[in-house]
Structure 1
């Protein structure tokens, strides 16, 4: 499959986000049990991110108590420390990533064969130490428009819950990017 066909499959009818974040693909056999377990972890992770991010945007009529603000600050600090420890020495590279609920496109160092399976990893939230992992299959691996080698991955098999949670997560990311562009315009 060529890069234009792969882009059409992954991003043609899906909401896509372009971000620069820690991401990688590990080629490995992925059986049905491993795929289902990854989907369950991804769904739980994305739901937790949504609860945390959405609760931070609520306009609460009563201001937070100083004690609650201190607890939240300590938790944020603890999460940052755990994240820093987790990433020491073995963090995924920060790469330009285009992704949708269908799949992702990212630069890679070495070519992989079409049909290779594995796990796609990405840092779904900057404060989250554990990466989001999704089973994926290589659709194409070719030089991109800039000459660098790119990988097109199709996620799956994904459970319905994981797809739904991923779509909501990407919608929030897209909405946040639009708001950021408007602030700088």
Structure 2
């Protein structure tokens, strides 16, 4: 499959996001894709719950006490520090350009895997969360600078959680694009 055909298959008429995150594709035969999918669904569900609670607290009528907001800010800092230390210790993958949808992903990584090879797309779902998502995937196409991956058929729970996560990321991309840029 050509890279253009893979792009069309993965992203045509689909909500897709582009960002740079610690991510890598590891070619291997996933013995238990369900285990990886269940874990990914649980991580995405917890992440959604946390981010939705934070968004609800951002209302202009926020009546939460200042002490609770300070405590949340301290926890954010501690989680960020813990995540950075853990990534340094475990040798987390470098940040790479990733475009993904619920169907699959294009990752800027050179991979020595033939189309049809199975493996895992490992990525960090949130900057403050050291947990890595491992999504079973199959190589559609590989080029000198990128690999196109189709996600394994996912249970409804993971498909819904992934769609929700991508929607939140897309909404953030739009909000950042609309923010006025400050001149130096």
TM-score, normalisation: structure 1? 0.89
**Structure 2 CA distance, aligned partners of 1:137 and 1:115?**
6
SS at match of 1:18: strand
SS at match of 2:164: helix
What corresponds to 1:146 in structure 2?
A: none
**Structure 1 CA distance, aligned partners of 2:111 and 2:25?**
11
**Structure 2 CA distance, aligned partners of 1:106 and 1:44?**
23
What corresponds to 2:130 in structure 1?
A: 129
Mapping of residues 16-165 of structure 1, within 5 Å: 16-31=16-31, 34-58=32-56, 59=59, 61=61, 63-89=63-89, 90-143=91-144, 149-165=145-161
Q: CA deviation at 1:122?
A: 1.2
- Where does structure 2 lack aligned partners over 5 or more consecutive residues? none
Q: CA deviation at 1:132?
A: 1.3
Assess if the C-alpha contact under 8 Å between 1:2 and 1:142 holds in 2: no
Assess if the C-alpha contact under 8 Å between 2:16 and 2:100 holds in 1: yes
How much is the aligned-residue C-alpha RMSD, in angstroms?
A: 1.6
Q: Decide whether aligned partners of structure 1 residues 184 and 133 sit closer, same or farther in structure 2, where only a CA change above 3 A counts.
A: farther
Q: CA deviation at 1:121?
A: 1.0
**Structure 2 CA distance, aligned partners of 1:125 and 1:183?**
21
Assess if the C-alpha contact under 8 Å between 1:17 and 1:173 holds in 2: yes
